[in-house]
Chains A and B, each alone.
Chain A
Amino acid sequence: MNAVEHIGHSWARSVIAIFKKDWHSELRTRYAISALVMFVITTIAIILFSIGNESAPPDLLSAMLWVVVFFAAMSGLSRSFVTEEERGTAMTLQLLTSPSAVLFGKLLFNIVLVFGLNALTVVLYALFINGFVIRTLSIFVVTIILGSTALAASSTILAAIIAKANTKGTLYPVLSFPILLPWLLTVINGTRLASEGAFFSEALGEFQILLSYIVVVVATSYLVFPYIWKE
């Protein structure tokens, strides 16, 4: 094994180890998971009660689904970085590994969190919100997969930024909204196409946008993160 391979191998181990640390920590304390689950349940209940027996147009329902997801993400995805700062363990991590390993380890953690969150939201939404119908399942599934990854990517780098600032809670949605706006419009459009029963090929544009968004955000995060992370 030459040197570069070995470094790559230990970088990957580093990333997995950070993911595992965050994961085990979350299982023990359950801060983020409980906050997210309660948030999703409460918000869907609010929507349910607000709509009542009225029927809401499918377009509106598609949009609301992702609004719920956005705000749920805002309430839970910054945890991974914020706790390191608040508890003073950021320096501990800096001693252990390179910034890129920290970034990707926490990105992985947020991806898992977002997928779980979206699975819960979609299931509850489909079960309880009448009028929400998906006619082309394939579009919907791909939209969720790409959409979740894109959401995780942006949320992670932005969480890294606000974790180092003072008023973290309110700052997070304020910074995230303009950055996630292209994401929001695209996933809503994709869901709309899926609920209207469009052909899979009609949604290819949306998928391309999401995919390139993911690539651009991850690449930029990789370049910018070391400056954010290292004091």
Chain B
Amino acid sequence: MNIRIEARELKKAFNRRVIFQNLSFSLAQHQTLLVTGKNGSGKSTLVKILGSVLTPTAGTVTVTSDFTGRDHSPLADIGLVSPYLMMYDEFSAVENLSLALAIRGMSPHAAEIDALLEKVSLYDRRHDLVRTYSSGMKQRVKYAFALVHHPAILLLDEPMANLDNEGIDIVHRVMEEQRERGILIVATSDLSDINSYDLRVDMNERR
């Protein structure tokens, strides 16, 4: 797969106030990036930019892989879990995952979806509306949503939010698997969330 992600001179400003600038790094397959910083330092902003759901004020993010140039959408490389990510709560977990695949232009496979929901311990409640879920369950649906298309790059913003011990174990397993598969990027204010990383960006120093 040979996935690489490169950020060059990233800058973001809101209302002309600069959140961060001159941010550059490069990540290769099997590598992990840790983004740290106190609340409001721009961690989530950076994650959104890397996940291509926010446009930087300046600078570029480039993702390259063996897939580039074929019938491959760059969106398929990205999986994102974030407190800002919302599921469609009038639909069930299964329906959310089906629509995610369908909107990506892929075919939903019921068996695969069930297996994934089993992995995040939502199998029993998979047909219930997300509206009825606890916050921990909602967090776990987000993981399923981020993983259902097997992304090469997984971005986790506050990965352990709302999770109990079982949930935390699930996330550690997910992180391990992602390191095997591609690139892992974790943004957190709690350093105990992650045990090893290859690169670290501290947003506190970036202003």
Binds A, one of B84-92, B170-178, B182-190: B84-92
Q: Mark A89-101, 1 if CB is under 8 A from B, else 0.
A: 1011111111001
- Per a CB cutoff under 8 Å, which of A9, A13, A29, A95 touches B75? A95
Q: A11-B105, A20-B102, A231-B54 are in contact. Are A92 and B86 (CB under 8 A)?
A: yes
Residues of B within 8 A of A (CB): 48, 51-55, 69-71, 73, 75, 78, 80, 82, 84-91, 99-100, 102-106, 145
Contact yes or no, B102 A10, CB < 8 A: no
Question: Which listed residue (B53, B55, B89) contacts A95, Cβ 8 A?
Answer: B53
For A95, what are the chain B residues with a Cβ–Cβ distance below 8 Å?
A: 51, 53, 75, 78, 80, 85
Q: B69 to chain A: which residues have CB within 8 Å?
A: 3
A10 touches B103 (CB 8 A): no
Using Cβ atoms and an 8 Å threshold, which residues of chain B touch A18? Answer: 103
Contacts of B91 in A (CB 8 A): 24-25, 28
Q: Which residue of B lies closest to A89 (CB)?
A: B86
For chain A, give the interface size range: 20 to 34
Contact A13 B90 (CB under 8 A): no
Q: Please measure, in the bound complex, the distance between the C-alpha atom of A29 and the C-alpha atom of B160, giving whole angstroms.
A: 32
Contact across chains for B55 and A96 when beta carbons are under 8 A apart: no
What secondary structure prevails in chain A residues at the interface with B? helix
Central interface residue in B51, B100, B105, by most chain A CB within 10 Å: B105
B86/A96 in contact, CB under 8 A: no
Is A14 a contact of B90 with CB atoms below 8 Å? no
CB neighbours (8 Å) of A20 from chain B are 99, 102
| CB pair A88 B84 closer than 8 Å | yes
A-to-B contact residues, CB < 8 Å: 3, 6-7, 9-11, 13-14, 17-18, 20-21, 24-25, 28-29, 87-89, 91-98, 101, 230-231
Whether A17 touches B99, Cβ cut-off 8 Å, given contacts A3-B70, A98-B75, A231-B55, is yes
Determine whether the beta carbon of A91 is less than 8 Å from that of B85.
yes
In angstroms, how far is the closest chain A Cβ from the Cβ of B49? Answer: 10
Chain A residue at minimum C-beta to C-beta distance from B89: A87
A-B contact pairs, 30 of them (CB 8 A): A6-B71, A9-B105, A10-B71, A10-B104, A14-B102, A14-B104, A14-B105, A20-B99, A20-B102, A24-B91, A25-B88, A29-B90, A88-B84, A89-B87, A91-B85, A91-B86, A92-B85, A92-B87, A92-B145, A95-B75, A95-B78, A96-B103, A97-B103, A97-B104, A97-B105, A98-B73, A230-B53, A230-B55, A231-B48, A231-B55
Q: A25 contacts B102, CB within 8 Å?
A: no
Q: Give, as a whole number of angstroms, the nearest-CB distance from B111 to chain A.
A: 20
Alpha-carbon gap, A210 to B138, bound state (A):
46
Whole-angstrom CA separation of A193 from B69 in the bound complex: 54
Interface centre among B84, B99, B145 (most CB of A within 10 A): B99
